Amino acid sequence: MVQKPTAKHTLVNDPEFSQLLQSYEAGLRAMQEHKYDKAKGLLQKVASSSHHELADRASVHLNACNQQLERDAIQFKTSEEHYDYIVSLINLGDYVSAREHLEKLSKQVPKADYVAYGLAALDCLTGHAEDSLKNLARAIGLNPALRFQARNDSDFQNLSEDPRFTELLYPDPGAENPLPPEPEVGELG
């Protein structure tokens, strides 16, 4: 008795379906690499196909691409507003996007203490202790008050046992603001 070929077997032999499946897979890879423009083009091709199940799946991913592209296209009125957005990315755990935005913001406002501080926090959260210490030192050099903020910032908990971190946050008071010597008794000042 001859068996009727299954739908799956027929689809595998369908060159159009095979090509759509390759585009779909390439689109997913592009999304994982954060190449949303490339992914969008590949997924649009699949979403407009006559293979409804694959088209529906591609549509879901296409919507995610569009949302990501819209988020990336956000225009900020101030660098502080951009930084607030970066903090929200860090809080969501999107460290890759946060780093991209911090690096862009660092080029726009290279002397902004809060950007150096943000880089230090992100470096610490992602296990880059050396870079974190370097960026935190730069931030504190730009704004010494950040030393007090870092003391209570849970983003730096990975560095709490590092003596260099302690020295950075609790410097020798005499080294920071050396006072002129006291006049000797009997000297006029």
Asked whether residue 60 falls in the same domain as residue 134, the answer is no
Q: Which pLDDT belongs to residue 14?
A: 82
Give 51: exposed, middle or buried? Use CB within 10 Å, 0-12, 13-18, 19+: middle
Q: Which pLDDT belongs to residue 80?
A: 92
Contact of 58 with 46, CB cutoff 8 Å = yes
Per-residue confidence in pLDDT tens, the chain, 189 aa: 555 555 554 556 788 888 999 999 999 999 898 888 899 899 999 899 988 899 999 999 989 888 888 776 677 889 999 999 899 989 989 899 899 999 999 999 999 999 999 999 999 999 999 999 999 999 999 999 999 999 999 999 999 999 999 999 998 776 555 445 555 555 554
Q: Which pLDDT belongs to residue 72?
A: 67
Which of 72, 93, 119 terminates a domain? The answer is 72
Q: Name the domain count of the chain.
A: 2
Contact of 48 with 55, CB cutoff 8 Å = yes
Q: Which pLDDT belongs to residue 97?
A: 87
The boundaries of the domain holding residue 24 are 9-72
Report how far residue 58's alpha carbon sits from residue 149's, in angstroms, rounded to the nearest whole number.
Answer: 46
Asked whether residue 97 falls in the same domain as residue 155, the answer is yes
Q: Which pLDDT belongs to residue 174?
A: 62
Q: Which pLDDT belongs to residue 57?
A: 92
Residue 130 lies in a domain: yes
Give 39: exposed, middle or buried? Use CB within 10 Å, 0-12, 13-18, 19+: buried
User: Rg of the Cα trace of the chain?
Assistant: 27
Q: Which pLDDT belongs to residue 69?
A: 81
Q: Which pLDDT belongs to residue 172?
A: 78
Q: Which pLDDT belongs to residue 189?
A: 47
Residue 23 lies in a domain: yes
